[in-house]
Amino acid sequence: MSYRNHYNGTLRLSDVGKEVTLTGWVAQRRNLGSLLFLDLRDSTGIVQCMSPNPDELPDIRNEYVVQIQGKVQAKDVPNKNLPTGEVEVLIEKLVVLSKAQTTPFIIADKTDALEETRLQYRYLDLRRPVLQNNLRIRSKICHAAREYFEENGFLEIETPMLNLSSPEGAKEYLVPSRIHHGAFYALPQSPQVWKQLLMIGGLERYYQIARCFRDEDLRADRQPEFTQIDLETSFMTQDEILTLMEGFLKKAFKEAAGVDIQTPLRRMPFWEAMDRFGSDKPDTRFGIELQDLSLLKKSSFEGFGEQDYVKGIVVPGVAGSTSRKNLDELNMEARKFSLKGVIALKYLGGKLEGSFTKFLDEALVSELIAKLGLQEGDLLLLASSASRRQIDNGLGALRLLFGRKLGLIKPGTYDLLWVVDFPMFTPVEGEDRYVAEHHPFTRPRDEDLDKLDTKPEEVLAYAYDIVINGYEAGGGTLRIYDHDTQWKIFKLLGLTDEDVANKFGWFINAFNYGAPPHGGIAFGLDRLTMILAGTENIRDVIAFPKNLQAVDPTSKAPREVTPDQLEILGLNIADEE
């Protein structure tokens, strides 16, 4: 006989009277003496099973794996919190398939167990329905990707995992060669160069659900190994690529979360996003936009007159409840972004209050109130800086802080937009060179090519990020395919011919044999899943993640290896001084 003929979470009133065989884990056991109730859990959900003869059953404990045969019956008092809450199974036979020790934490969605404990026993943590649902969402996104891109003429092609090191980017994981002592492979940070070579190879449309690796410091939304839905196309404009990708997002949201998104999506230039929201990944689900307050340079406060930028945000309704301690905390947050601090003004009783008002005459106060449309209880936070990015980033962080604190973001909502027209370069302070905003192969906008020789800092790129609820969920660029433009970019980045030959020579050589116009994008599968699952912790959507110390708490990797293993690889471990 098979282990089961029904899944636990699928039973409904329409199944009343059926003889069923179920398997799963005992999620909860309640012995009332004359009645025994078991909540039986499998991957589809939980159903209640009951026996009026508990003494005839073997000893049962939580997390035992059991098989139950019985008849489905309607419950006298339905449980509205369970999809199966209108029915229960009258136990006729119970077989213990596997016993279990007492688990180190309760297997339930709501748990007070420390994350490190849950990660150590991840195989138990994965029994929690919430984590299983997260991985189900992840699987559905992958299925939607494969189906959509195959339908649109893309080929799924695997690229190498053992690569040449390119240390100019993020830190890499290196793999020593057993055959070539002293030589190392590098695990891929992305399939970037390989997918461009596929375009030169004439494949035209490529995709891959690609594993990538970066040896970086970790945080809630970053892991050392991560997954991209990676794509590249030939002979397509930026608009055509974005439109095609919107089709995938529409399908993924619908199939993975049952959410309908409206396309086409908004497209917001980089500097508009920075000026209005203080971020190149703006959360536009709430207001509190940044305001240009250059008019305050007319005040008697010399600090504003000496700076290039004066901006502010208006936080509604909190002036009366904002204490000195609160303002000190805001200043500490601002200093994290290299701002000297923020100046606070409160609009109470139809007047601006705060020590800074001594620098403002009546006319300037009236102009400020009118420009901002201040309402009773508004809190105005001011900042100044010589750096446009610095002031935007600082005020943008305070904006997000208040958005969350005041509950301005409606749960369960999704806001998607493209951020486009990124700068090509960021000047290196004190040096006559630039760094690439994205990577050296990003293509400048056609209308800005003349500025490469005169004003490189004003050149914008064919670069685009998909932003969802304030997260960068993916990004890409069109690539340079013209030899002269590529070398001009290398020179602006301060690279010599020798640098280029050493770092990119094998790759650049391919462009001498006819490269098509091409571009691509990579969606962060982990982050996209995190957004659709409604969690802010990327470890919640990865089956076996690393902790913040880049350690796998389940297997305890990384660990030291034996001297024999090191000898085979021709390696010695230096003693720490």
CATH number at residue 214: 3.30.930.10
Q: How confident is the model at residue 257 (pLDDT cuts 50, 70, 90)?
A: very high
Q: What percent of the chain has pLDDT over 90?
A: 80
- Residue by residue, DSSP assigns 500-532 as HHHHHHHHHGGGGG----EEEEEEEHHHHHHHH
Residues 420 and 401 in one domain: no
On whether residue 279 sits in a domain, the answer given is: no
Domain shared by 482 and 535, yes or no: yes
Q: Which of 361, 378, 405 is the last residue of a domain?
A: 405
Residue 322 has pLDDT above 90, yes or no: no
What whole-number distance in Å separates Cα of residue 291 and Cα of residue 314?
8
Whether residues 265 and 203 fall in one domain: yes
- Is residue 120 predicted with pLDDT exceeding 90? yes
Q: What is the pTM of this model?
A: 0.93
Give the per-residue pLDDT at 338.
80
Q: Note whether residue 105 is domain-resident.
A: no
Average the pLDDT over each of 10-14, 128-132, 455-459 and give the range with the smallest value.
Answer: 455-459
pLDDT of residue 102 exceeding 70? yes
Share of the chain above pLDDT 70, in %: 99
Using one digit for the tens of pLDDT, what is the confidence trace for 429-442? 777 778 888 888 99
Whether residue 450 is found in the same domain as residue 327: no
Q: Does residue 547 lie in a domain region?
A: no
Tell me what the pLDDT averaged over the chain comes to.
Answer: 93
- Which of 405, 440, 461 lies at the terminal end of a domain, its last residue? 405
How large is the average pLDDT for residues 284-292? 95
For residue 563, being part of any structural domain is answered with: no
Band of pLDDT at residue 169, cut at 50, 70 and 90: low
Residue 38 forms part of a structural domain: yes
Which tens digit of pLDDT belongs to each residue from 203-233?
Answer: 999 999 999 999 988 777 789 999 999 999 9
CB 462 within 8 A of CB 443: yes
**Would you say residue 7 has pLDDT above 70?**
yes
In a domain, 275, yes or no: no
Q: Quote the strand ranges of 214-354, DSSP E.
A: 225-234, 266-269, 291-292, 309-315, 343-348, 351-353
Residue 548 forms part of a structural domain: no
* Mean pLDDT calculated for residue range 239-262: 97
Name the residue range of residue 294's domain. Answer: 286-405
* Number of domains, the chain: 3
485's CB contacts (< 8 A; 6+ apart) are 443, 444, 449, 452
Residues 45 and 162 in one domain: no
Query: 514 and 451 in one domain?
Result: yes
Same domain, 392 and 440: no
| Domain boundary pick from 352, 371, 405 | 405
pLDDT for res 221: 75
- Beta-carbon contacts of residue 187 (< 8 Å; ≥ 6 apart): 161, 162, 163, 172, 173, 174, 175, 213
For the domain that residue 334 is a member of, what is the CATH number?
Answer: 3.30.1360.30
One domain, residues 400 and 427:
no
- The DSSP-derived string for 400-449 is HHHHHHTT-SPTT---EEEEE--BSEEEPTTSS-EEESS-TTBPBPGGGG
Are 169 and 214 found together in one domain? yes
One domain for residues 291 and 354: yes
- Higher-scoring residue by pLDDT: 428, 298: 298
In a domain, 106, yes or no: no
Note whether 50 and 154 are same-domain residues: no
**For residue 496, what pLDDT band results from cuts at 50, 70 and 90?**
confident
pLDDT of residue 305: 81
What pLDDT is stored for residue 476 in this prediction? 97
- Tell me: do 174 and 242 sit in the same domain: yes
Q: Is the pLDDT confidence value at 533 over 90?
A: yes
The whole-angstrom separation of Cα 319 and Cα 377 is 5
